[in-house]
Amino acid sequence: MNTVFVIGVGLIGGSFALDIKKHNPEATIYGIDKNDAYLDEALSLGVIDKKAKIEDLEKADVVIVTVPVDATLDVLPKVLDEISDKAIVFDAGSTKVDICLKVKHHPKRRNFLAAHPIAGTEHSGPNAAIHGLYKNKTNIICEVEETAFKLQEKALKLFSDLGMRIRYMNPKAHDKHIAYVSHLSHISSFMLGKTVIDKEKNERDIFDMAGSGFESTVRLAKSSPAMWTPIFKQNKTNVIETLNEYINNLKHFKQLMENEDFEAVYNEMQKTNHIKDILNGIQ
Amino acid sequence: MNTVFVIGVGLIGGSFALDIKKHNPEATIYGIDKNDAYLDEALSLGVIDKKAKIEDLEKADVVIVTVPVDATLDVLPKVLDEISDKAIVFDAGSTKVDICLKVKHHPKRRNFLAAHPIAGTEHSGPNAAIHGLYKNKTNIICEVEETAFKLQEKALKLFSDLGMRIRYMNPKAHDKHIAYVSHLSHISSFMLGKTVIDKEKNERDIFDMAGSGFESTVRLAKSSPAMWTPIFKQNKTNVIETLNEYINNLKHFKQLMENEDFEAVYNEMQKTNHIKDILNGIQ
């Protein structure tokens, strides 16, 4: 693994670059990004060793595609066109159905591993890249049987070095479940932020009265719209389903309050307290 | 300030007890709680020095009422009945209108200061009490002019010792604003937890796929229903208003997705990103 290319040198790609370099000091990390300022920043921060172009990919051992999921549909086939037979390419996108479908018949399909590391922060850009982002995080791999065995092994070794645990799923199940545990959280957070901002024109009031609870609940509303818009677009059907259920639950809660049925309000919360036990498993 | 009574020895009252003792080692902290197991726990943890009864309040210098807001309506007049003229009583409830109204005509109204420290965690009970909970937190004081001047001074000295900053508001404005920045966050979080739990019967799947983003967004769903039900009951009108606006914003977002208007989806998120600057002020 001497030649590693990271396409998209932001939080996700940059954090891969930092940890791969740490585990393989001999490797050269090449960065590709349509945003040249990002490349310069990644270079000066030491996130990448060299700037590169898509045509340089023929010398790659590993290619990591960490661009927004709509850009992945465009970039991934081009990457597969350029690489040699020995290279392993993986992505880190939050949707898997469209991406897997896009390269289903590509002659180099077996060089690609569809991955989704459940890791990140609400920050973005090369400056947001951090060491250890992937440690103890889950990495969901889809259609593993479509990837050449030796290349699976290579990728799994890399994920293992970074401290990730692996779960295998099919793309449809991935997109459906992740809509609940990730995509919906982002929308609930964005809309909470919007509701409060719309109401509280005097920002000083929000800032003074808001506590750590509010901060925690709206944290995801800081996330990048450029990254999240294409995710919602690609996972539209599942996300709309989760939104329907979420809106219905909120309406039901409101109805209970309007009916002054506070015993039922209590029970709604009490049943959900059970989330404690589930969250205890997330580290 | 030699004799301090804490009524309700959970997270909020217990954390007051710990810090007051630290700043006033000579003080004796008495605990009163309808839950005797809590009192024993608070005693063995060193959160309080002695167990007490409501009849003992005549010797109090300071009384802190930190019980659920419905219980406060019942307990607070009894506390005022018992105390001496020199005692200052304050509460920490998340609603202020009903509490202020309840004691409006009490002969000892001037011994009471209506307070709401914006501090807490999602945990509860004496075991959840921590040092420094109130440091750098906002404490909202309502109807300050209804409290005797010397007793205001005493309470403000205590809040200042604990590192709190003070904001003055009227109870109506408090209850309206806090519905947005605190009460709504709790409901959005509880309903998010419910939506995911209802869908994901196999908990292992949630636990494996959920990341820190989900954890942050549902953190408040761990909160105590016994504390939150009476808050929603007392602040019903404001909370229903926030829920209406939140539900409308979610429906609008869903409509944009259904219309495939992803430019508008992008703009919704981009405008809300502005929450970053607001949150930078919250520590």
Joined tokens for residue B20: 């007051």
Predicted local confidence at residue A257, as pLDDT: 98
Q: Is the pLDDT of residue B53 over 80?
A: yes
Q: Which of A70, A185, A251 to mutate to test the interface with B (most CBs of B within 10 A)?
A: A185
Predicted local confidence at residue A283, as pLDDT: 43
Chain A CB within 8 Å of residue B101 CB: no
User: Hey, what long-range contacts does B24-29 have (CB within 8 A, 24 or more apart)?
Assistant: B26/B2, B27/B1, B27/B2, B27/B3, B28/B2, B28/B3, B28/B4, B29/B4, B29/B5
Q: Which of B194, B270, B271 to mutate to test the interface with A (most CBs of A within 10 A)?
A: B194
Q: Which residues of chain A have pLDDT under 70?
A: 202-207, 281-283
Name all domains of chain A by residue range, CATH numbers in brackets. Answer: 3-169 (3.40.50.720), 174-279 (1.10.3660.10)
Q: What is the mean pLDDT of residues B43-58?
A: 97
Predicted local confidence at residue A1, as pLDDT: 73
| Closest CB from A184, A195, A276 relative to B222 | A276
Q: Is the pLDDT of residue B278 over 80?
A: no
Q: Enumerate helices (H) and strands (E) in chain B, giving the number of each.
A: 13, 8
Predicted local confidence at residue B203, as pLDDT: 63
Predicted local confidence at residue A201, as pLDDT: 72
Please state the pTM of the whole predicted model: 0.92
| Closest CB from B186, B273, B282 relative to A215 | B282
Q: Using the beta-carbon criterion (under 8 Å), do A181 and B214 form an inter-chain contact?
A: yes
Q: Write the pLDDT tens digit of every residue in B160-195.
A: 999 999 999 999 999 999 999 999 999 999 999 999
User: Hey, what long-range contacts does A195-199 have (CB within 8 A, 24 or more apart)?
Assistant: A195/B180, A195/B184, A195/B242, A195/B245, A195/B246, A195/B249, A196/B180, A196/B181, A196/B184, A196/B275, A197/B271, A197/B272, A197/B274, A197/B275, A197/B278, A198/B245, A198/B249, A199/B180, A199/B242, A199/B245
Q: Which of B117, B192, B234 is nearest to A218 (CA)?
A: B192
Q: What is the mean pLDDT of residues B256-266?
A: 97
Q: Which of A124, A133, A180, A255 to mutate to test the interface with B (most CBs of B within 10 A)?
A: A180
Predicted local confidence at residue B283, as pLDDT: 43
- The contacts of residue A156 (CB under 8 Å, 6+ apart) are A166
ipTM comes to 0.92
Q: Is the pLDDT of residue B279 over 80?
A: no
Predicted local confidence at residue A164, as pLDDT: 97
- Give the closest-approach CA distance of B50 to chain A in angstroms: 32
Residue numbers of B between 205 and 234 with CB closer than 8 Å to A: 205-223, 225-226, 228-230, 232-233
DSSP designation for A278 = H
Residue numbers of A between 136 and 175 with CB closer than 8 Å to B: 137-138, 140, 167
Q: What is the mean pLDDT of residues B124-140?
A: 95
Joined tokens for residue B164: 């709190």
Joined tokens for residue B214: 């989900």
